[in-house]
Amino acid sequence: MRSVFHYYYLTSKGKKKSALIDAETLSEAKEKLRAQNIFVISLKQQKYLNKEKEGSNRQLPTLITQLAQLLIAGIPLYESLLALQEQYKEERLHSVLTGLAEQIKEGASLSEAMEQYPSLFTRLYIALVAAGESIGALDVTLNKLSFLLSNQSKLKKQLTTALIYPSLLFAFSGIVVLLLLLFVIPSMEMLFEDRMVNRFTYMVIGVSRFLRTQWMFYLPTFSLLIGGLIFYGREKKKALLTALLYIPILGTLMTQLILARFTRTLGTLLQGGVPIIQAMQISRNVMHHPLFEETVEEAEKRMIEGSFLSTELKKSKWIPSLVPRMLAIGEEAGTLGPMLGKIADLYEEEVDKTLTRLMALVQPVVLIVMGGIVGIIMLAVLLPLTDATSFMSGG
């Protein structure tokens, strides 16, 4: 894996400047600079924080789009990378662009250069770029990749936006319940001293006391329970994800998301010139569900033996019948790639509709449940107060 090194040097006029150079080792970087007759003052490897790396991943779709547009405009690859290098001068991707440009200058292909940055460029990127280079249509392929990344980002935003309101509502309601149990109930507890209270009120007071006095017990227990559930979830990932498919609406949404990602990726790879088996191997990695991944993997084996994708997917009870029917039409007409794109369009629209239905159901359920808990606590406080009022008035 190659690295980027930052160095300070003196110009012929004696001015101090800084620049970046791509190399595998510090020694190689020194040799490169020596060969260019550059008087180096200091040289060190660029290091980045995780946040910077995450920022680069977020910027990558935009970078791919810009590079595609430059190539479509007729600007050579090396000059396009240099132009982008100037735009990203103060950002993490600047060093990556420097490395890519240097390797292109040395005679490497873009896909070969990308392989040196596996944390940024996945197999999907590299396979598409390599296919585009092999048919002399890198600009078109990068444009397809840009479209694919745009659709993936759109799906993520849809999910994030849909989850924000219910999550905030649940968190706010939870805070209100804790405030009632930790502060409101204790402040009123003295009113019920030496008086008989109903079991309902006694239970709420007991819960409040437990939360205030036994935190050294329940906090570690709760943490261990969460840790145990996470560990169990990882060990039994397939069983848990399969169980989710049986839940109404949620299971439908999961299936639609998985098929939208898979068909969009596979269709883009096929239209980009990637062989179908390699394209399927890459595409099943975006499904993120063991059950569906196994279905596609089994289909790959049968297709090597001469079967068709539509025939194999038809055997799975988890794949809606619409998918193999449309695939069969695409296979017969020799337009499998475009047909996969149409299936992806269909399921992306369905994801939007299902998310709307799910949120329409989840929001009132959260309100009812959390509102019910708050109401129960308030009722537990108010019931004895009516007796206390009678008692204080002499009733």
Q: Hey, is 23 helix, strand or coil? A: strand
Confidence of residue 80 (pLDDT cuts 50, 70, 90): very high
Helix (H) or strand (E) holding 7: strand 3-10
Highest-confidence segment of 48-57, 142-151, 202-211, 222-231: 142-151
Q: Are 78 and 105 in contact (CB under 8 A)?
A: yes
Q: Could you please report the per-residue DSSP string of 178-222?
A: HHIIIIIHHHHGGGGTTS---HHHHHHHHHHHHHHH-HHHHHHHH
- Whether residue 89 has pLDDT greater than 80: no
Mean pLDDT of the residues in the chain = 83
Neighbours of 144 (CB within 10 A): 22
Question: At 69, phi and psi to the nearest 5?
Answer: -65, -40
pLDDT > 90 in the chain, percent: 28
CA 49 to chain centre: 19
More confident residue, 94 or 305: 305
Q: Which amino acid is residue 255, in one-letter code? A: T
Write down the pLDDT at residue 1. 53
Confidence of residue 179 (pLDDT cuts 50, 70, 90): confident
Confidence of residue 4 (pLDDT cuts 50, 70, 90): low
* Domain covering 51-149 in this structure, CATH number: 1.20.81.30
Write down the pLDDT at residue 186. 83
Q: Hey, is 156 helix, strand or coil? A: helix
Write down the pLDDT at residue 87. 85
More confident residue, 390 or 12: 12
Give residue-wise pLDDT tens across range 299-342: 999 999 999 999 999 999 999 999 999 999 999 999 999 999 99
Question: Which residues are within 8 A (CB) of 262 and not within 5 positions of it... i.e. 6 or more apart?
Answer: 283, 284, 286, 287, 292, 296
C-alpha span between 355 and 162 (Å, rounded): 7
C-alpha span between 156 and 163 (Å, rounded): 11
Strands 16-23 and 39-45: unpaired
Confidence of residue 47 (pLDDT cuts 50, 70, 90): low
Q: Are 182 and 209 in contact (CB under 8 A)?
A: no
Q: Are 265 and 283 in contact (CB under 8 A)?
A: yes
Confidence of residue 53 (pLDDT cuts 50, 70, 90): very low
Give residue-wise pLDDT tens across range 243-299: 888 988 889 999 999 999 999 999 999 998 899 999 999 999 889 899 999 999 999
Question: Which residues are within 8 A (CB) of 356 and not within 5 positions of it... i.e. 6 or more apart?
Answer: none
pLDDT > 70 in the chain, percent: 88
Helix (H) or strand (E) holding 299: helix 290-304
C-alpha span between 308 and 277 (Å, rounded): 11
For residue 110, which of 80, 79, 133, 135 has the smallest C-alpha distance? 133
Confidence of residue 41 (pLDDT cuts 50, 70, 90): confident
* Domain covering 162-395 in this structure, CATH number: 1.20.81.30
Q: Hey, is 19 helix, strand or coil? A: strand
Give residue-wise pLDDT tens across range 95-133: 788 888 888 988 889 999 888 888 788 888 899 999 989
0.75 surpassed by pTM: no
Write down the pLDDT at residue 50. 41
